[in-house]
Amino acid sequence: MSSLSGRKKSIPQLAERTSGVANPSRRQLLTTGLAVGAGAAMAGLQARPAAAAGDPAITEVQDWNRYLGDGVDARPYGTPSQYEEHVVRRNVAWLTADPVSSVNFTPLHELDGIITPNGLCFERHHAGIADVDPAKHRLMIDGLVDTPLVFTMEDLKRFPRENKVYFLECAANSGMEWRGAQLNGCQFTHGMVHCVVYTGVKLRTILEEAGVKTSGKWLLAEGADASAMSRSIPMEKALDDCMVAFKMNGEALRPEQGYPLRLVVPGWEGNMWVKWLRRLEVGDKPWHHREETSKYTDLLANGKARRFTWVMDVKSVITNPSPQAPVTHGRGPLVISGLAWSGNGTVKRVDVSIDGGRNWKTARIDGPSLDKALHRFYLDIDWDGSELLLQSRAMDEHGYVQPTKNELRLARGENSIYHNNGIQTWYVKADGVVENVEVS
């Protein structure tokens, strides 16, 4: 179909077209000094006036309109451009003993908006990706219910359903920052978060179908993978906003996200969003299973551990610029962009500092502000080319403000790997290179 391989000639079409147009004086006049804020963003843009004679940037070959491309039969299920091959989830080989019980990370620095594409949602498994046949999969409800029930996938799709946008964050996200590991990029420091649209049935609906007994105060959710992942969930949360979901971003759940069925526990740590969900048991007390005792508890400095720390508190991170996404242009307009989220609801405000927390500007939140979803923020500045210490600080709808890492350490010590929602700092050098640092 395609004749892409037939490209040979170098005819600078666009450059020809633009020859002899205008002069750059207006643009040059607009190269101004430092001015922080959206209104000033365009003032110093380095956009090229058309036909600046001999500008190599506009005399390069652009011959793609000389060849027919692939047709509509080429890719029944589409894939990204060949020029985007670097935009992938990445794992860290030394982090765990085996990739079947490990994590890979969302490339936050390559994304924008609030939706994570399904192919780039981070994964965390405890026994690899279960390969479940949806025709054979079942969800059972048993325990303290009037009528134990077993549902096929088709059964579940006959209940009224809903669509909700929620972030999912692993409790261990940013965990290596407690002791200052300073991994080189927001993909690794903050990439255990994603945000998609879930389609499914309210957990409340199927619990009511089985009939929860008065003594039923807790719910055990159990997965069908080889780790038989299980977590205790208080009934109040189960009856509030939890879902059993079968679709993400419109299509079926991806295998690594629990295909064909996962529990959605909005705002709470990702470990509780049991994948390959096969059983819900109603009980009168929590089960104290491995993932809520030995793991997913927060060991304090005094040797005691915080338990049932389910909510992911308000948090934010600047995704651009960041260590994997340095500034590659000179001074002038610079878009500072990032993500904020809160397990307690919406994010009300995000402030950004370019000087390590001495001064703050309120960023612009763009796109919908949805309950327990990622929020996208921007601060458009006119960069003067000097070094920056970038920080973001989010505040949720209840007024809770994201703490510094040192404030967290004072309160909880450095034993834990979970629930680090401290403020992140990126050091932007004059040459645009960015490093993960801490400011005291």
Q: Please, which of residues 48-77 interact with a second copy by CB under 8 A?
A: 48-51, 57-58, 60-62, 64-77
Smallest gap, in angstroms, from Cβ of residue 412 to a second copy? 28
Instruction: Report the residue from 119, 284, 407, 429 that binds a second copy according to the rule CB under 8 A.
Output: 119
Cβ 103 vs Cβ 128: under 8 Å: no
**Footprint of a second copy on residues 393-432 (CB under 8 A)?**
none
Query: Under 8 Å CB-to-CB from 270, ≥6 apart: which residues?
Result: 124, 168, 169, 170, 171, 192
- Taking the C-alpha atoms of residue 282 and residue 284, their distance in angstroms, rounded to an integer, is 7
Residue 34 sits in the site that holds a second copy (CB under 8 A) = no
Range 115-118, long-range pairs (CB < 8 A, 24+ positions) = 115/165, 115/195, 115/196, 115/197, 115/249, 116/194, 116/195, 116/196, 116/374, 117/249, 118/196, 118/248, 118/249, 118/251, 118/254, 118/257
Based on CB atoms, which residue is closest to a second copy, 130 or 394? 130
Q: Which two tokens stand for residue 94?
A: 């030394």
Using CB under 8 A as the binding rule, the residues of this chain from 125 to 164 that contact a second copy are 125, 127-138, 140-142, 146-152, 154-155, 157-164
Cis bond before residue 321 (omega within 30° of 0): yes
296-335 positions binding a second copy, by CB under 8 A: 328-329, 332-335
Least gap, CB of 373 to a second copy (angstroms): 11
Within 244-263, the residues that bind a second copy by CB under 8 A are 247, 249-256, 259-260
Contact string (CB under 8 A) for a second copy, positions 332-361, x = contact: xxxx--------------------------
Least separation in angstroms between residue 403's CB and a second copy is 28
Q: Segment near a second copy (CB under 8 A), from 106-114, 168-176, 181-189, 407-415? A: 106-114
- Rule CB under 8 A: is residue 291 a binding residue for a second copy? no
Residues 168-207 that bind a second copy (CB under 8 A): 197, 199, 205
Nearest to a second copy of 93, 302 (CB atom): 93
Q: Which is nearer to a second copy, 120 or 423 (CB)?
A: 120
Kindly give, in sequence order, each residue whose CB lies less than 8 Å from that of residue 356, ignoring residues fewer than 6 positions away: 389, 391, 425, 439
Tell me how far, at minimum, the Cβ of 80 lies from a second copy, in Å: 6
Locate 339 and state its tokens.
Answer: 């993500």
Token duo for residue 338: 């990032």
- With contacts defined by CB under 8 A, name the span among 111-119, 183-191, 306-314, 419-427 that binds a second copy: 111-119
**Closest-CA residue to 200 (of 259, 272, 128, 133):** 259
Q: Is 433 in the site for a second copy (CB under 8 A)?
A: no
Please check whether residue 322 is in contact with residue 425, taking contact to mean a CB–CB distance below 8 angstroms. no
- 237 touches a second copy (CB under 8 A): no
